[in-house]
Amino acid sequence: MAKIYLVAGHGGSDAGACDYGRKEKDDTLDLTLDVGKALTGLGHSVMYNRTSDVDTDMYAYVRACNNFGADFCLSIHRNAFYRKAKGYETCIYSNTGKSKVFADYVNAGMASIGFVNRGSKIRTDLCVLNSTAMPAALIEVGFIDSEEDNRIFTSRYSDIVKCIVNGVLKAVGSSQSAGNVTPSKPTEPAKTPSKKDLGQVNCYYQVFTDRWWPTVKNHEDWAGEGDGVPIRYLGICVDKGSIRARVHTLGGGWLPSITFKNMYNIGDLINGVVGDGSPIDAIELYYITPEGYKYKKAVYCASSLEGDEFYPVQYDDEVSDTMDGYAGAMGIAIDKFKAWIE
């Protein structure tokens, strides 16, 4: 029988990623204990980095794993990325041996369960992968800030446990397979409170060319002089929530982002507005919705010195076939700009 070392990601004062009423440290502990229970039930020897909600020392548990003489080490996590991504992925040190066997099996299994298959990621920088003396893997079981992934995590929990157990068994060369899995602590559906409607959010902004132009509200007009006169500073704010802004300067690069709430300050050219006095050729905005409200986005567009037409609208910092993550065109200064929230 094999020796398996299981790592429940985070714990204690380190909650890990949190969203939709869930904490990564809780989900990983439940999953780790149920995977371990199933492996122990099949006769394998299992050691854990933690079995309760306590702080852990990564270097200490890697040493414990090596001293245990484990045949395989598995670190269990959940992912997060600003509610912009979803899916399952396996992180391994190299795409060879037992780690590859585990990753290939579990990647496919999680896809059949319903997760987007993000595949295997080679991570030579992770201590649990580069300092363990045996094959190892770190798994990200869906994004905790994805409602869809949380639904799958809850509704297909037993299948997820079984998939992970069978992946470990294949990795250590066992012909066994997990039977029906009864979670020791069934995961309750995340109690996601219904989000309130924020209503109209007004966006106010003004720009500087060779002087400050009047404030514009939403898309009632555009800001700037036009006529090929480049914008050099941008002041922007919203009456609800906050908005993060940064600009790219012609011949320069991206300047640091600044987050504004219900005011900006054209008298403070360092922290009150964005820009450094150089012509601006790209603007990036991201609207931050207040907690508990339905999400909204910044919508904005710009016109360059080379034409009168505005480029297609940009939503937050999203990237697609028609959006570059910013408004404008690198290398061509902007002379008109408008923005609103929807």
Identity of the amino acid at 247? V
Contact residues for 60 (Cβ-Cβ < 8 A; gap 6+)? none
Catalytic residues, by residue number, are 140
| Secondary structure (3-state) at 259 | strand
What's the CA gap between 216 and 205, in Å, rounded? 5
Q: 185-223 burial string, b = 16+ CB within 10 Å, else e?
A: eebeebeeeeeeebeebebbbbbbbeeebebbebeeebb
User: Could you tell me the end-to-end alpha-carbon distance of the chain, in angstroms, rounded to an integer?
Assistant: 58
DSSP string, 315-330: ETT-BSSS-BSSEEBT
DSSP string, 8-77: E-SBTTB--SEETTEEHHHHHHHHHHHHHHHHHHTT-EEEES-SSS----HHHHHHHHHHHT-SEEEEEE
Tell me whether strands 45-48 and 3-8 are parallel, antiparallel or unpaired: parallel
